[in-house]
Amino acid sequence: MPCTGAYATPAEYNALMCAGLDLTDADTVTAITTALTIAASDVHAALAAVGACNCTLASWATVYLKKLNIIDAAVIHNCPCGNQLSDSEKQTFLTWLNEQFALIRTQKIEVCANATGADYPAWGVIQTGLTAWSEAEIIQNEFLKSVP
């Protein structure tokens, strides 16, 4: 998935943050779309830092990136439905987002399919190759860990 555009739609934003906003108003949809697009740049930056812009996403990663995108948009944009986040709620969400982006940048959360992540054991005493098959698996895991 290339690092362009928003990961979530106005309807998905509405479902998570507003619950019942009338999406027939073009100005409202435009405002939400703009907020999602701007907020997606934070997600793009984290993915680009680890070369994950053009990988095939893991099965769970699409929804995870949508969640990050929606919460980031809620921090920078007040929902037109009146469900306003307080300053302390925005700060809590911002802290959580920064932690998630750091986990992506350090590859503790690996969004690409078939990737193993930074904490996956590939060499050392945790995995020991007792057979030719397990040795091959260790080598393959090390390769998957090192290829973006």
**Would you list the domain boundaries of the chain?**
10-114, 116-148
Contact 87, 115 (CB under 8 A): no
Amino acid at 69: N
Q: Which helix (H) or strand (E) holds 104?
A: helix 87-105
* 16 DSSP assignment: I
Q: What's the whole-number mean pLDDT along residues 96-118?
A: 87
Rounded to two decimals, the pTM is 0.76
Separation CA 6–CA 26 (nearest Å) = 18
**pLDDT above 90: residue 38:** yes
**pLDDT above 90: residue 131:** no
**pLDDT above 60: residue 120:** no
The beta strand positions in 55-126, using DSSP E, are none
pLDDT classification of 145: cutoffs 50, 70, 90: confident
Contacts of 92-100 spanning 24+ positions with Cβ under 8 A: 96/71, 97/42, 97/68, 97/71, 97/72, 100/46, 100/68
In the chain, what percentage of residues exceed pLDDT 70? 88
- Cβ-Cβ contacts under 8 Å for 134 (sequence gap 6 or more): 127, 128
Q: What's the whole-number mean pLDDT along residues 129-146?
A: 79
In the chain, what percentage of residues exceed pLDDT 90? 53
Whole-Å CA distances, 101 to 88, 116, 124, 141: 20, 17, 28, 24
Token readout for 20 is 């019942």
**pLDDT above 70: residue 123:** no
